[in-house]
Amino acid sequence: MRHIRQEQPSTPTRPQTKRFSWLRLCVFLICGIVGLAILGGVIAGVVVYQSLVQDLPNLEDLENYQSSLVTQVYDRHGELIADFFIEKRILVALADVPLYIRQATIAVEDSRFYSHRGIDLFGVLRALWVNLQAGEVREGASTITQQVVRTLFLNRERTVSRKLREAILAYRIEQHFRKDDILRMYLNQIFYGHNAYGIEAAAQIYFGKSVKDLTLAEGALLVGLPQAPNKYSPLKNLDLALQRRVHVLRRMVKEGYLTLEEARVAEQEPVHLQPNYQQVNKVPYFVEYVRQYLEARYGMTALYRGGFQVYLTLDLGLQRLAEQAIRYGVLALDKRHGYQGARRRLELTGDVLTDMRLVQTVTRPADGDMTVHEGETLSGVVLAVEDAAVRVAVKDAQGVLMPEESFAWVREPDLQQDFQVRRRLTAHEIFQRGDVIRVQVLRLDPAGRAHLLALEQEPLVQGSLIAIEPGSGHVLAMVGGYDFDTSQFNRATQALRQPGSAFKPIIYAAALEAGLTTTSIIYDAPIIAAGANDQEYWKPQNYSQKFYGPTTLRTALTHSRNLVTIRLLEKIGIPAVVAYARRLGITSPLTPNLSLALGSSGVTLLELTAAYSVFANGGMYVPPVFITKIVDANQRVLEEHLPQAQRVISPELAYVMTNLLQGVIANGTGRSMRAIGRPAAGKTGTTNDFRDAWFLGYTPGFLTGVWVGIDDRTTLGHREDGARAAGPIWLEFMREALRNDPITDFVVPPSVRFFQIDAASGKQATASTQAETLFEVFMEGTEPEKRAPSSHDLRRDIHRLDRERHSAARHQ
């Protein structure tokens, strides 16, 4: 039987297969898209990451990072006298920062500092909540590590890329450095306001002390500053600063660093600010001289950011004495020179309010301090001139000038008369209502209505002083002018002024080395030489306008005889004297003519004082030294200056010159300096028309030079010569500087000889000598003949000198 297979009905599989295929395709496409998106995201992330990190600094750069540091300058005793900086930052070890300051910093800035890895998400949320509650920014969200990154390497722009870069670098730093190292970086880098970078600089600027000496309350006040240094500055808004301090202390309580009672005690502690946020500069002329050297040698960046330690030869105590001597001497001379009159005159209207506003434009000081202080000098405006007194407005108060006490020095000007005989002027002759004048406060009136004032004026006269230790060349004090704030021109090192007779010792030393002696005779007689053209003649005169005939070298130098010195220069030769001056350290151009004998070529006070140091130092020239040592931030010695002595003349010649210069003080033009009361040698200097006045002098081991003049080279006034104008400054300074030093005499070299000399002839006296004798000094081998000359010998010598004079005149 044939079986017929019965087919089962087929299922509809084609539509299901199609749906499954589409589903697989969709899944595939979605996975592909997601995969591509992820891959694209990864690639984009890598690209973005690479763009963010491509110029991030290496951690090695952070290890070697050199912060901008303060260059500090010290005197020879280690006292800080100046600092140079762009950012005032003084590095301090973490161990030198008190624990409570570290704890306060962590409590306020980053309470989870020791537990996070550079970024603190919990801290961000906490800061957001605190700030929302306070209604203002009370806490920052950045960690201490992020702030270090931002301060050292990144800017403060508010962009996502900067925040991402900051987070990346913060994480890297956390992997590479210990937490304490990061905290140390923060405390040395963060800005505390008023140019204070780092906690040590902040402590010095706000409280005038080191960070290690801060109290808890002081430290908490500083810790609160970095968030908004200007807003919370105790120098600008003490109330806000104290509120911020409370917040810091309460944060310390919350973090368990303080008890509530300890915090309350600190909150009640009064604030004793000693602000010093300006650059230190206690001796501006000296410091500016050194600053220029440092900048030229190392560059401005190293000077202001390198953190050098510069040790000077300066003695701050002597510097203060020098400044005081210059100030008093210049003021006294300027007052002798005459009252300059009002600085200007205000046109007062008579209306009280209008006049008050006008007066305050003059009397209100720039620093805003309206309290009148005894001893200070102020700008004032004359309100009324009365017979008995002159009423003057100063700051927000008034004072009076009493004629007999306050301006008795104002006299009728007459440069041809000695100042003592000038007629005193009355108040009505001197002042007018509205005059703007300078006054000094002598005595305070508690009511502020009648402070006792004295008339002052900004002097036209200037002065400079250099004090040197001859043996080492160390410059112990230098003053370049009356007031650095008024004029930064340093008259001790920059001004080329004619030295006048102060140059003569160089010529006399050259003559002694050429074979002359202290008793050699030169003829003091008129000299006529050709001038600038054929129609002019040069007729030099002695200061006394007299001629003295045969004159010994000692007498000529003692009394500063011009004509003898000119003949002496002519005798030994101008080229020889110029070369001799170079040996003694004179570097300024010297005009090669006979006027060189009268000091017509300008020199600086520094180089002339250094030249005199050769006589004071036994014939050794030691270049002036201002800096003993410079050390960089890593304590590496960059330079060190030891005395570089060079023999330029013999010890015997140096002593003979010292002996001659002692005679100047004992019997000559510098005899007013005998008041020093100890062995001293020196020389005055005065130029034509009293334009320059000098005195240079020394005792064993100490040398000082003084110059006085007016910058535009006008006259100082009649008879204002070296002894009268410069001498008192030298004497005042030297007396005070040597007050506690023992009195010693100059050391006499073994080969120097002393002989009794016939005063008239300069020959060695014998038992038969009838004329006056004197004790004279000679270098070995230059002793005079052992007989007193006859009158025939004297006449022969005079005739010889006369022939020399006529021969020289014909040659001229």
256/117 same-domain check: yes
* End residue of a domain, out of 219, 249, 267: 267
Q: Are residues 51 and 110 in the same domain?
A: no
Residue 360 counted as domain residue: yes
The average confidence (pLDDT) of the chain is 86
In a domain, 540, yes or no: no
CB 361 within 8 A of CB 452: no
Whole-number pLDDT of residue 538: 86
Q: Do 97 and 190 touch, CB atoms closer than 8 A?
A: no
Per mean pLDDT, which of 145-149, 334-338, 512-516 is the most reliable?
Answer: 512-516
Could you report the per-residue pLDDT of 406-460, keeping only the tens digit for each? Answer: 888 888 766 455 545 567 888 999 999 999 999 999 999 988 889 999 999 999 9
- Distance from first CA to last CA of the chain, Å, rounded? 172
- Compute CA distances 261 → 242, 268, 730, whole Å: 17, 11, 62
Judge whether residue 101 has pLDDT over 90: yes
Compute the distance between CA of residue 293 and CA of residue 269 in angstroms, rounded to an integer.
46
* CATH code (residue 207): 1.10.3810.10
User: What percent of the chain is modeled with pLDDT above 90?
Assistant: 60
Write the DSSP string, 107-159: HHH-TTTTTSSS--HHHHHHHHHHHHHHTS--S-SS-HHHHHHHHHT------
CATH number at residue 441: 2.40.50.140
As to burial, measured by CB atoms within 10 angstroms (0-12 exposed, 13-18 middle, 19+ buried), residue 730 is buried
Within this chain, do residues 259 and 398 fall inside the same structural domain, yes or no?
no
Confidence of residue 555 (pLDDT cuts 50, 70, 90): very high
In a domain, 18, yes or no: no
Confirm whether 572 is domain-assigned.
no
Whether residue 149 is found in the same domain as residue 204:
yes
> In angstroms, rounded to a whole number, what is the distance separating the alpha carbons of residues 2 and 603?
148
How many helices and strands, by DSSP H and E, does the chain display? 25, 26
Q: What is the per-residue pLDDT for 579?
A: 97
Question: Which of 744, 735, 613, 740 is closest to 673 using CA atoms?
Answer: 735
Give the confidence band of 36 by pLDDT, cuts at 50, 70, 90. low
Task: Tell me the Cα Rg of the chain.
Answer: 41
Report the domain count for the chain: 4
Kindly state whether residue 690 falls inside one of the protein's structural domains.
no
Does one domain contain both 161 and 42? no
- CA 201 to each of CA 67, 69, 191, 222, 614: distance values in angstroms, whole numbers, following the listed order: 13, 10, 10, 11, 45
Whether residues 349 and 245 share a domain: the answer is no
d(CA 330, CA 90): 39
- Tell whether 789 is covered by a domain: yes
DSSP state of 421: G
DSSP class of 357: H
Q: Are residues 136 and 226 in the same domain?
A: yes
In a domain? residue 38? yes
Residues 408 and 371 in one domain: yes
659 vs 518: CA distance, rounded Å: 10
Cα diameter, the chain? 193
In the structure, what pLDDT confidence band is assigned to residue 809 with cuts at 50, 70 and 90?
Answer: very low
- Domain limit, last residue, from 429, 456, 483: 456
The verdict on 95 and 228 lying in the same domain is yes
Across 155-159, 364-368, 533-537, 633-637, the highest mean pLDDT is recorded for 633-637
Element (H, E) at 211: none
Are 149 and 118 a contacting pair, CB within 8 Å? no
Length of the chain: 812
Are residues 203 and 350 both part of a single domain?
no
Q: What is the pLDDT of residue 535?
A: 60
Can you tell me which residue has the tokens 């209505």? 449
Give the residue numbers spanning the domain of 807.
752-811
- If you search the block for the tokens 């009505």, which residue do you land on? 428
The catalytic residues are: 109, 501
The residue whose two tokens read 């002696």 is: 517
Considering 267, 297, 331, which residue would you say is the last residue of a domain? 267
Lowest average pLDDT, out of 213-222, 260-269, 699-708, 771-780, goes to: 771-780
CA atoms of 444 and 567, how far apart (whole Å): 61
CA distances from 324 to 207, 377, 465, 477 (A): 29, 15, 11, 12
Average pLDDT over residues 369-389: 90
Q: How far is CA 721 from CA 326, 664, 685, in A?
A: 16, 15, 7
Inform me whether the pLDDT recorded for 171 exceeds 90: no
pLDDT band for 811, please (50, 70, 90 cuts). Answer: very low
d(CA 759, CA 567): 21
For residue 311, what are the β-bridge partners?
74, 629
In a domain, 578, yes or no: no
Specify the 3-state DSSP secondary structure of 778. strand
Residues 351, 386 within the same domain:
yes
Answer yes or no: do 48 and 127 share one domain.
no
